[in-house]
Structure 1
């Protein structure tokens, strides 16, 4: 009777992706395949009211084409579901649903592993860097203590100002540890990039120097600030620096060059190494989840990096030549000079 339509209906009925079609005018579910039925086992199949209440808490009748959110996630019956909504005609909505519980769990594990690897570098940097302001603070307070009765108020104030400056340096280092919390919400603001970079590189410098890796920075004077979450940019740059460090293993004169420029309304950060490089075929798969060339790699480092940058309206691209080196380019929105925050 309906060979063409029935063939397609049978295909849709048996695919592993959940499909639900809503007729919002008649208030009926015109189609729900087996996968969608299994995903919502506690709801009677094609129960318009129950399904719409779960999937459209804002009321399905009020949804307009321009208001349709896509994609969305839903916690249902101890599972995490991901779904996208499409308007196929006036009054009809199609939902494509999949169970992303395992994918989200693997991403969380990979991100936790990634955070721990990065935290190792941060701890090494802090152990070395915190000694400098601590010694300076100890010296300043020691001199002040011995001469408190001889110094003028002006001299005492100088020593206190110096002490407060060293304390603020230690506060930043300790804050760097607090920032390694993958569950914190984004806090995007105007950030002084000169200050950010000045605080970032001491965290990795000591470990890179032990490996005889030279770090060279070239920052354009017209770069002032970016509209970012500094915690995210710190983790992104740390990921890239660690990858560059791995690529430089065995190089005769290992070097990483970091440049920063402004073009139109974007800040461009280039991180270039003269390491082993990668092939064109490898470059095609770099941002593909679970792809890795490292024996202990998770294959999610770069995909997570891209995801984090996208949350800040940023982007990342990679160009490389085998046996010559790699350049990673990050772009983030330029910030406003007024109301600049110190990273």
Structure 2
């Protein structure tokens, strides 16, 4: 153990300014690690052996394998999922053990070591499942209420219009009959628009994830979108990273999300002087941020709180499902969406994507 500690101190990843640890501090740190309810295992990846495990880790590992060795632990928890994964993990991984669910994360320490954290997330997972079920039921109730309202109104209008037309038909001239027919067709169009939006909601159920060259994808997307924005008098600009950047995504779904966001931004810019939309890309470690910003009127805090509720819309002709659909498609790609807006200053929508592994750099 002393030799391993000396090697760690000599490793290229050091903590500047840290004083040499005394024996008393070592004992305190050892006691802290031993009493933690999170399992901690440190392994030497070069010599392929375990050099430390605290009490919580030992308890779990003895249940997982007949003999706790580096090779057994590597096969079960340490091996890369696809044989070529390097660098820190992007998310916590899970392992089912009978009725228990274990969460674990692994982190490299310098060039010779790995630190593995293991903890029991059975109860946490159960509570999250209950909360998700409650949230799902609430959302279903909200959706059904919205559908009933959105379809019920035009149907009632159609019923009333056709009823009047039926009883007054002998008294109406051709022009009046045509007016009532147009009203009916308009309401039918509202229903059709809603049904189309609902179809889009389930359109991308089968997401096909792959490594996507983001710059190439955006070049093609912008070439398609810029003409439409120019027709609306909107300047569309892009700030891309000058690097070979890849992300994990479904190109069809990502394109649909961006089209929805551009449509929202264009609507927000109606009547504005010098309307402009900027698409920008940035990166932080394993995450890539794709933002769509406009210099429109922005939104109030109350409007922002309602944004992802089905059928909430500030558009006269909107369905209130656009952002809901965007969030659903992004969630299926292990991605997220965030909206930042201030009245009078415009709106920025940020999509967070997972960077794809790139071995060409």
The structure number with the bigger radius of gyration is 2
Give the TM-score of the pair, scaled to structure 2: 0.47
Give the TM-score of the pair, scaled to structure 1: 0.49
Between 1 and 2, higher relative CO (CA 8 Å, sep ≥ 6) is seen in 1
